[in-house]
Amino acid sequence: MSCAPVQIDNSMTAELPPDLSIDYHLDLLATGVVLLDADLHIRALNLSAENLLEVSASRALGSPLEELLEESNEWYPLLNQALTENYSMVRRAIPLTTRTGQERTVDVTLSPIAGKVESRCLLVELTMVDRLQAISRDESEWQAQATLKEIMKGVAHEVKNPLGGIRGAAQLLSGELANPNLQEYTDIIISEVDRLHTLVDRMLGPRERLESEPTNIHEVTEHVRQLIEAEAKGELAIERDYDPSLPDFLADAGQLTQAVLNLVRNARQACGDAGLITLRTRVLRQFTLGGSRHKLVCALQVNDDGPGVPEDLLPRLFLPMVTGNAKGTGLGLSIAQRIANQHGGLIQVRSSPGDTCFTMLIPMET
C-alpha cells in the first residue's frame, strides 16, 4: 500500500530558480517532517528528520519506521490511532530512541492526510525538546498560575469588602432622595458595584468543589451548540464529528458546559458567523496527563477556520486578563483551563491562520 503521489501545483513555482523548490524549503525547517503511509513506511522526510533519526534519506525512503525507531517507543500506538481514527494529535515531550541507541525527547504533531484507511498517509512533525526543560516549562507555568491565584484572592477580598459598603450606602441614599430624578445616579452606582462584584467573582474562577455525576459529554456539547446557534440567530452552523462510543463519565456537567461555552464563544468571535466551527469528540487510550496514566481520556476539540490566535498571545493565552479583544476580559480561557484542571485534565491549543484547535482532555473515571 502506498500514498497517492502528492500533487504540487507547479504553476506557482515554475518561475523560481531550482534552489527555491518546496523540498529545499522543507530542508531548511528546524522541525523534522516525515510522511508515513498506512503501513508506517517512510515516503518522505526532510533534512531535520534525517538528523533526528540518524539516517540518510536514501536509506530511510521506503523503509518501515520500525527499522529506524525502537519498537519500545511509546508513540507507535499513537501513530496507529491517528491513522485508523483519522484524528490529528499533538503530544509533548515524548521520548524517542533511534536504532543507533540515541535517546531524544520530541514534541510530536500527527496529521492524517484524509483518504480511505488503506491509502491514508500520516504527516509527522518532530520538534526536539529537552525533556527536563519541557517538564520545568510546565511546572513553572503551574507555579505562575498558583502565585497569581493567591494574589487575586487577596485583591478580591480587599475589593469585595468595600463594595458591600458602597452598595448599602447607595441604597440608603436612594431611599432618602427627595428628587426621584437623582435616583438614576444611585441606580448607576448600584449596578456598577454589582458588575464589579461579578467581575471579581469571575476572576477568582469556578467554585473549588466539583459536583460530579455521570455525564454524557455529548449532552454538554449539544447544549453549547444550541446556545451559540441561538445567539447567532441561525446565521452560524456548527458541525459535529462525535464518537458515539464515548461512555458517560464522572464530571461536573455545569462546569464543563461553562468551559466548552467559553471555547466556542471565542471560536465564534474569531471566525464570525460565516465561519466554520467543528465540535469533535474522541476517546484516547493509555494517555498520560499531568504525570498520571489514564486508561481512557475524553478529547473534545473545538475547531475554527478563523484567522488564528495572535502569536504574541500564545505563550500567555491561558493566564487571566490576557485578551486580544478591546472589549474582552481575558477570563474565558483561564476559567476554562481551571475547570479542565479541576477535572484532572487540561486544554491545549494549536493555531495557524484558517485552522485553530482547542483540545480539552479529561480523564474518564467511569
Ligand X SMILES: Nc1ncnc2c1ncn2[C@@H]1O[C@H](COP(=O)(O)OP(=O)(O)O)[C@@H](O)[C@H]1O
Where along the sequence are the contacts to ligand X (CB under 6 A)? Answer: 262, 266-267, 270, 304, 306, 308-310, 313, 317, 322-325, 328-334, 356
Which long-range contacts does 6-13 make (Cβ < 8 Å, 24+ apart)? 6/35, 6/44
Pair type for strands 355-363 and 346-352: antiparallel
Min dist. Cβ of residue 31 to ligand X (A) = 22
Residue 109 touches which member of ligand X, Mg ion, none, C-beta under 5-8 Å by kind: none
Residue 323 touches which member of Mg ion, ligand X, none, C-beta under 5-8 Å by kind: ligand X
| The C-alpha cell that represents 134 in the structure block | 519541557
SS (H, E, C) 186-251: HHHHHHHHHHHHHHHHHHHCCCCCCCCEEECHHHHHHHHHHHHHHHCCCCCCEEEECCCCCCCEEE
Segment interacting with Mg ion, rule: CB under 5 A, options 53-61, 190-198, 266-274, 348-356:
266-274
Q: How far is CA 201 from the centre of its chain?
A: 25
- Residues that bind Mg ion (rule: CB under 5 A) add up to a total of 2
Residue 317 touches which member of Mg ion, ligand X, none, C-beta under 5-8 Å by kind: ligand X
DSSP assigned state of 3 = P
Q: Does 266 bind Mg ion (CB under 5 A)?
A: yes
Complex with ligand X: residue 95 or 272, whichever CB lies closer: 272
Complex with ligand X: residue 323 or 341, whichever CB lies closer: 323
Number of neighbours of residue 359 by Cβ within 10 angstroms: 23
Segment interacting with Mg ion, rule: CB under 5 A, options 26-34, 152-160, 259-267, 345-353:
259-267
In contact, 278 and 239? CB cutoff 8 Å = yes
Complex with ligand X: residue 160 or 202, whichever CB lies closer: 202
In contact, 343 and 332? CB cutoff 8 Å = no
Cβ-proximal residue to Mg ion, closest one: 332
| The C-alpha cell that represents 214 in the structure block | 455521570
Q: Does 320 bind Mg ion (CB under 5 A)?
A: no
Q: Is 4 helix (H, G, I), strand (E, B) or coil?
A: coil
Q: Is 184 helix (H, G, I), strand (E, B) or coil?
A: helix
Residue 284 touches which member of ligand X, Mg ion, none, C-beta under 5-8 Å by kind: none
Contact map string, positions 321 to 350, toward Mg ion, x by CB under 5 A: -----------x------------------
Residue 306 touches which member of Mg ion, ligand X, none, C-beta under 5-8 Å by kind: ligand X
The contact set with Mg ion (CB under 5 A) reads: 266, 332
